[in-house]
Structures are given as C-alpha cells and as structure tokens.
Structure 1
Amino acid sequence: MINYNGILLTDDKSPVNLPNRGLHFGDGIFETIIYKNSEIQFFNLHWNRLNEGLKTLHIELPFGKDALKAHLLQLVKRNNENNAQRIKITIWRDGKGKYTPIENSASYLIENELFHPPENQIINQAFVSQKVTLHHHAFSHLKTISALSYVLAAIEKKERNIEELILLNHKSEIAEASSSNLFFYNVLTRKWTTPPLSAGCISGVSRRHLLNQLEATGEFIEEQNLSLAELDENYALFSSNVTGAKQIYQVDETLLNKDSEALTKLDQLFNEVH
C-alpha cells in the first residue's frame, strides 16, 4: 500500500513503477537531443556519451545504437517529422535495493516536444552565481538525473531576473553557464579555450562537437582553467549547448570583447553537423 498525494493506493495502482531507483536515488542519466532539418543532430556524439555515462554508473544499455535511432525516429514521425523537436531520453537502473543495487538492467523513457531555436544569440550581461558552486568528481561530467545544482542555478537565474548565470567551481575557476558549456576567444593571441572537465563542468555534446571542429579547421584550441580576474576586453565569451551558440558581452561588471567574427565562426562550426 502507498500514499500518493493523500490517496491510498495498492502498489499495482501506483502512477510509477515501484521500486524506482531513478525516483528514489537519482540513479540514472539523461540526454537532450535536437531533431531538425529531417535529422537527429549529433546522434553519434549522443550515443557515445550515453555509453560512457552508463558504463561509469555500471548500468546496462537497454538498447543498441540502431534500435535507439529507430525509437527516436518513430516518436518524431508520430509527432510530425516536419517540425523541429526536442527529445529527452531518461535512463534509470531497474530493481530493488537500498544504495547498493541488486541488478544493473535499465528502464527508459523517451519524450519529445516542439523545438523553438533561440531568437537571440546575444546575452548582454551574465552574473556569477551566488548560490551554486560546482565540484569535480568521478561523475560530475555526466548528465545525471540528480541535477540539483542546475535546478538551483535555474531558480536563481529566474529569481534574479537575469539573462545568464556563470557557475564557478570550489577553486573559483570558471566552470560553465547555467545550462551550457563555455568557450573563450582571445582576440590578441587568436586562441580558443574551454574549461576542462576537471573544472566540474558537464561533458556537453556541443562542446565535444566544437572542440572537434575547431581542431579540424586548424584553430588553436585547448582546455584551460580561467578565473574571473583574468577576463578583460581581450576575451570574447560564448555559451554553447545543443540548441546553439550565444555570445556574452559582460560578466558582472567586466566588459568583454564583442568580436562578431568569432561568433560567426563558432556558429558555422556548430551547424556543420556530422
């Protein structure tokens, strides 16, 4: 017998399958995928990240690569394949047990909704989070379903009524934005940098794609930690996730470079989808 929102139900009438390790322990991961122009964007990179994440958490893959693609396209077609869509895959470990799992098989849920690309690629001013500090650990780079740091960051951004939030790690190094990875471009040295995963940031699919693209086109790109004190008008700053790239003109009171050529370059590389 369970109590669900004040209503007593037998276990078989529960609105969710019980026991549920995703609900009880956040024992799982998720992926957000964009479908547009009749293609699943960055599918291979998403597949690779799913494999890496599940392997780290010792959860068995519930499907093969071809089966996953078929599942995604089936759902997309049912919801009008002519429209751009945002797809979310959530995978959690099955079985009973407390913290120690009894099994490693998995269940999954695939959802989708219409995708509306960002109307503006410019963020006039971002602010450093006053409440969320990131920490690097064995799974900090994964998109786990226990994403409280990013939930609290989103709440803070809403409460402060600001365009974007910059998250620092416990060493006061710049880690990422509230739901995006960050890229820096130094207009003097013509060097691109992005925080390393050791900064505590998520291993974003668009981050992987842009790193690959920048290297392939001969751009100087490296993973490097930067502090707020190092930012000045010689740096152009960009956020990136699977919805696209944006340029940030200012962080707190620090004015940054507004080099539009760098944004154009990043945007072009982002849209060269493989």
Structure 2
Amino acid sequence: MINFNGELLFNENVKLSPENRGFKYGDAIFETIKVNNNKIVFWEDHYFRLMASMRMLRMKIPMQFTLEFLQEEILKTVAVQDQATSFRVRLSVFRKDGGLYTPKTNQIDYLIDVKENKYQTKDIYKVDVFKDFYNYSGLLSTIKTNNRMVNTLASIYADENDLDNCVLINEKKGVVEVTNANIFILKGNVIKTPALSEGCIKGILRMKVIDTIAKNKEYSLEETSISPFEIQKADEVFITNAIIGIQPVTNYKKKKFNVDFANKISKSLKVLEVTS
C-alpha cells in the first residue's frame, strides 16, 4: 500500500493527475530512507535535509510536517506492508497540480512508497566513467530532485557494458558521484570525496562517513575536486548511500582494488545505524 497525503491506498487506487508537477516538470524532491525492524535509520538527518531542500525550492512546508508527524506516517505505511524486517522508503514531495513553469501554488502533496529492502553487498563491483553527459556542478545538484536523466542514462550505459555502476563527471571533468551514491577514494592514509561544490548529492551516509573518519587519527579526509585519473591510482574506492550502506568498488577499468578499509568502516556504520 501507498500513503498519499496521509491516506493509505492500494497501489492500483493511487491516481495522480496529468497535471502532476513532478511528472510534467520534475518539480519534486524525495528522500530514500531505510527502515530496519520498525526503526527509521538516521531519521533526523533525512528530515532536516528534506526541510532544507523544500525551503531551497520555495515549497510551502505544511505546519503538520514535524519530525514526529512524518515519522508516524512512514511507520504507518511500513506497518501495512508484507512481513519483512528491512524496507526502503521513498518519501516524495511535489507541488500541487497547476500552472506551467510558474506553479499556481507552492503548497505540496506527499507520497510514501515502501518496498522490501533486498540489497546485499556485492563481492565483485565494477565501475567506469560515464562521459556522454555531465552532471553540472552547483548547489541545485546537491538536492535529490526528480530530475535524474543523467543518472538514468548512465545506468543504462552500465547495464549495456556489464558494469555495476558509472562514475558521473561535471563540466570541469571532475568526479561528482556514481549514479546512486557518493564516492570515496583512499590513497595511502588520505581519503578524498568530491566537495558539494562539485555537484554531488548531500548524502546522509556521506556525512556519516566523513564524521567517522574525522575521529580516526590514522587517516585524513579531503572534500575536494577529484579527477577520474585519481580513481585509477587509488588503493581503495567505495560508494555510500542510505540503502546500501558501504559498497566497496573492486574494479575500475583494468585496475583492481583492495576492500579492507571499506569493510572496516562499514562495520562502524552498522553500529551507528543501530544506535541512531
């Protein structure tokens, strides 16, 4: 079942208008959230990112959109799903119908879609660079909007070329992220990840990894610009998002990577998931 503006509906009964702005203009944002054993993982971080995104896109935040209210709506929707212990929740927010590029209103509708989380970390994970189109740098690219055409085309490219994922680059030929996650590279004791100014999503797990590394005196972390060539020279590469957690990259072009650090930090984040 799906939660549309607080009403639980069977999938076939959810009717979105042809005037839906998320469909017509991509005028929508979303959060992808993990729920384990009826507990929303890193919920406060997701909530505050959602609020910041809505403000940036000039959406009117309803008075009832408190942290507690949305938490209850998510768990209410999870409760009516088929029995499972882990779910991926997509909370979508879009402006109400009407208008052309200029909306008739900044008031919003919301939709909560829940599916069982079946992701398992892969032992072999191959990536390469997607060069056909750029993911442009800038603040708007850090928001999880419905405008994901580059991600879609890169995912098709990956599927056609027997890859698990593709690295997206910006107009400066710098690494941004992969199609569905942030990216980190390790060389020696220096860990690098693209700065937000490069156009990467302001990922929840990205922030958790940065905080975890900051507490480890053995390593230093840099949020900076990264060239695709640096990936090939790295000792390790891993990607992060709220659903997969940490996925080590094992192959990039002809290079093979170690996975020791990625597995180590993955254990630390699993502890955070339980205690968050």
TM interval, shorter chain, is 0.7 to 0.9
Contact 2:168 2:179 (C-alpha < 8 Å) held by counterparts: yes
Q: For 1:136-187, what per-residue CA distance to the aligned partner results, in whole angstroms no more than 9, with x for missing partners? A: 1331001101211111111111122212211111111111112110011122
How many Å separate the matches in 2 of 1:221 and 1:168? 21
Q: How far 1:222 sits from its partner (Å)? A: 2.0
Q: How many residues align?
A: 256
Q: Residues 119 and 268 (structure 1 numbering): CA distance in 2 closer, same or farther, change over 3 Å?
A: closer
1:128 match: secondary structure: strand
How many Å separate the matches in 2 of 1:266 and 1:121? 16
Q: How far 1:105 sits from its partner (Å)? A: 0.8
Counterpart of 1:42, as a letter, is F
Q: For 1:55-93, what per-residue CA distance to the aligned partner results, in whole angstroms no more than 9, with x for missing partners? A: 110002242211000001111111156521111111101
Q: Residues 20 and 38 (structure 1 numbering): CA distance in 2 closer, same or farther, change over 3 Å?
A: closer
The answer to whether the aligner puts 1:181 opposite 2:182 as a matched pair is yes
Q: Residues 145 and 256 (structure 1 numbering): CA distance in 2 closer, same or farther, change over 3 Å?
A: same
Gaps of 5+ in 1: 1-13
| Aligned residue in 2 for 1:263 | 262
How many Å separate the matches in 1 of 2:133 and 2:166? 10
Considering only aligned residues, what root-mean-square deviation do their CA atoms show, in Å? 2.0
Q: Which moved more, 1:161-170 or 1:224-233?
A: 224-233
CA radius of gyration, larger in: 1
The answer to whether the aligner puts 1:202 opposite 2:201 as a matched pair is yes
| Aligned residue in 2 for 1:128 | 129
Q: How far 1:19 sits from its partner (Å)? A: 3.0
Contact 1:59 1:93 (C-alpha < 8 Å) held by counterparts: yes
How many Å separate the matches in 1 of 2:234 and 2:32? 33
| Aligned residue in 2 for 1:65 | 67
| Aligned residue in 2 for 1:223 | 223
Q: Residues 131 and 104 (structure 1 numbering): CA distance in 2 closer, same or farther, change over 3 Å?
A: same
Q: For 1:164-220, what per-residue CA distance to the aligned partner results, in whole angstroms no more than 9, with x for missing partners? A: 211111111111112110011122xx1221101111211111111211222234442
How many Å separate the matches in 2 of 1:121 and 1:40? 27
> With structure 2 as the length reference, what TM-score do the two structures score?
0.86
How many Å separate the matches in 2 of 1:65 and 1:50? 10
1:101 match: secondary structure: coil
How many Å separate the matches in 1 of 2:234 and 2:140? 33
> With structure 1 as the length reference, what TM-score do the two structures score?
0.86
How many Å separate the matches in 1 of 2:230 and 2:86? 39
How many Å separate the matches in 2 of 1:232 and 1:15? 47
Q: How far 1:18 sits from its partner (Å)? A: 5.2
Contact 2:232 2:252 (C-alpha < 8 Å) held by counterparts: no
2:103 match: secondary structure: coil
2:226 match: secondary structure: coil
How many Å separate the matches in 2 of 1:89 and 1:230? 35
How many Å separate the matches in 2 of 1:217 and 1:73? 35
Q: Residues 120 and 74 (structure 1 numbering): CA distance in 2 closer, same or farther, change over 3 Å?
A: same
Describe how 1:45-194 pairs up with structure 2 within 5 A: 45-62=45-62, 63-80=65-82, 82-123=84-125, 125-187=126-188, 190-194=189-193
Q: How far 1:249 sits from its partner (Å)? A: 2.7
Q: Residues 231 and 89 (structure 1 numbering): CA distance in 2 closer, same or farther, change over 3 Å?
A: closer
Contact 1:233 1:257 (C-alpha < 8 Å) held by counterparts: no
How many Å separate the matches in 1 of 2:216 and 2:231? 26
Q: How far 1:41 sits from its partner (Å)? A: 1.0
How many Å separate the matches in 1 of 2:181 and 2:150? 13
Contact 1:38 1:82 (C-alpha < 8 Å) held by counterparts: no
Q: Residues 101 and 127 (structure 1 numbering): CA distance in 2 closer, same or farther, change over 3 Å?
A: same
Contact 1:185 1:191 (C-alpha < 8 Å) held by counterparts: yes
